[in-house]
Structure 1
Amino acid sequence: MTDLIDRFLHYVTFDTQSNPSLSSCPSSEGQMLFAQALKQELVELGLSQVKLDQNGYLTAKLPSNQTDAAIPTIGFIAHMDTAPDASGKNVRPQIVEDYKGGDIALGKGDEVLSPIQYPDLHRLIGHDIITTDGTTLLGADNKAGIAEIISAIAHLIDNPDIPHGDIAIGFTPDEEIGRGADLFQVEQFGAQWAYTIDGGPVGELEYENFNAASAEIEFTGISVHPGTAKDKLVNAMTLAAKFHAQMPENETPETTQGYEGFYHLADANMSIAKAKLHYILRDFDTQGLQARKAYLEDKVASFAQAYPKAKVTITVTDSYSNMKQMVEPHPHIIEIAGEAMQNCGITPDIKPIRGGTDGARLSYMGLPCPNVFTGGYNFHGIHEFITVQGMQQAVNVIVEIAKQTAIRYRNDN
């Protein structure tokens, strides 16, 4: 466990925040620096086919320790970037050993991690909890996944009595800005199926995710000196505010759960002459997402009629689709992961992902790829945390998935 935590604490020192405003891949220099460090580590572990391409995609393979060619190659994937939502620079983690309950002070300020706000803490009494210092995110999403995959691979190398087939591993850039699978070479990766290690609390096993789209609504007003603005000025910011005020109040991220979709105002750029609202649209049902897009388009058309002096336009872009229809035809992928968890004393918590992963895109690229927990909580913000015990359980599950795949497909079985 010491190696696992040492890896994780080292990885979070790399500033790998992705940048949606840049078109380069990776979108930040820190991701490539991190990838180069990981490449060296994989080489030192003795893995084969260690490759880092010019776009920051890092892949490697642990050769099978079985002579049976019938065992399929499986993969484990995690992403190197952290979310743009909060800073990932100068991360200063702290470990709260044997958590006793109550508030956890973050750093030297007044910021705390409270079980009142985050009830999951009530279930983690006695655990060792890694938190931020309240000024940055932690980076468990998804450096915990990387640390867990590499630690599992190291364990398999150190314990050759554990059977496994060929194992491909892949670390991707820019997942948090929706580009993680854009340049992933599925055929070269060589796996029949894979698992992203990118989930939350212990037990999560996910093969459904949102259908996703984005909508940018632009309001073009008329800027006039306020002293002579009577019946002339059209304030684009006022129009944008009125538009958003008319959106459904009960269909937002903070009011929905489970299979409920939403509209989310994710960004806004405002001036008198021009204002832009950036929404993300999410729905587990394909028709539901189409209905949400149509709702916004109709609303924009009506709004434009109501304010003829202004110009109101909408641009809708599809992002990713629900992986369910690509994974369900291969039930053994979920069965193996569920069996592995049970063998590790974990009850699988099969639930939809209220978000997306590289696995969603990869599943449509021919690599069925459900998602497995990391042991983390509250990703993308300063209250992010993860438990040492949860990380170790993730390592155990990765090892067990490799083992159970080999046992299931051996010819002598």
Structure 2
Amino acid sequence: MSEQPPAHPHPAYPVGLRLTGRRVVVLGGGQVAQRRLPWLITAGADITLVSPSATPSVEAMVTAGELRWERRRYEEGDLEGAWYVVVASSDSEANDRASAEAERLRVWCVRSDDADAATALTPATGRSAGVTVAVLSTDVHGRDPRRSAAVRDAVVEGLRDGTITARQHRTRAPGVALVGGGPGDPDLITVKGRRLLAEADVVIADRLGPRDLLDELPPHVEVIDAAKIPYGRFMAQEAINQALIEHAKAGKAVVRLKGGDPFVFGRGMEEAEALAAAGIPCTVVPGISSSISVPGAAGIPVTHRGVAHEFTVVSGHVAPDDERSLVDWAALARLRGTLVILMGVDKIGAIARALMDHGRDGTTPVALVQEGTTAAQRRVDATLATVAETVAAEDVRPPAVIVVGEVVAVAGRPAADPAVNLQ
């Protein structure tokens, strides 16, 4: 028996459709439509859904006014005036009739049930950094959608994490990105943060930023340790602000890499305000705050049903009896929830005394998580009454996140391996 020739001896011609304001008809409201509709909505298409039923997610799109829904089966004439049609119903007879109408009207038609009967194919599509990646199989003897999806995923992930670099060649406006690097593990930076790092000309980094990421930067990238910027007549923060402005005005793509989140005790707003005053565009990329992620990595939930309904994050860099302190320690002592203290290792004795003086029980569990999410992570447990002597005896050093509250004892002491805790 001889092999049958392929239905389409030539590969599909790739093209991008501008569907803004143009009529698009989708037949069927099931899982296929649920996957296709968001892209059509993003493209600005004028969408009509024809289907007796729809998934809850598709119904939500209708409720939000993102498309119109004709709650019935396909009828001849439904494709009149359409530019594009997606045939994705479970009614094969209706699909055939709709496909035939599309052919007569010369409307590009995608068939989810029979790609050989379609006049258009939907590529495996993804987006990253202002680029749409669309992959179609060119094998005329048989399409392999899983391979197309795998190629798409590999390219998009590479663009996102910086392993595939495609630098912009058009003139760029000067600008600075304030990037939260997360708690320390380089895998915990956001996708956008990692991409901007890969595109940077200059990176001004804090010591608490994810240092491993700096080793991945190309040789031409200038990496500046914020702690070593010459201060001269400036205070430390003013000198950093000035460095950001000067490099941006020189036409460089500048990333200010911080640990955690730029706006959680990171002075990010001070830098954003200085850049705004100098007329420099600023992009803020939030980061995973150590206040939540580090306790989580050590097996401590900051909230837990029946134990803690709130958590409060405070800075401990100023002692409770210091006139510069803005923290109401008396109010914090009265709370029943979790207290997370950042930058408080050297002041924890005074902090514990203040909390107990204002009524917090000395037996309240306390955990200190040093170098959270990194290979050097370790957890030391104590109580409010013993935490000062425990810190001294165990030689706990910054950076460490301190958790005060009953959540510390929820799951007992977990394994010390941060790779295990993070899974």
**Larger C-alpha radius of gyration, 1 or 2?**
2
Q: Which has the higher contact order (CA 8 A, sep 6+)?
A: 1
Task: Please report the TM-score for the alignment, with normalisation by the length of structure 1.
Answer: 0.22
Tell me the TM-score normalised to structure 2 length.
0.22
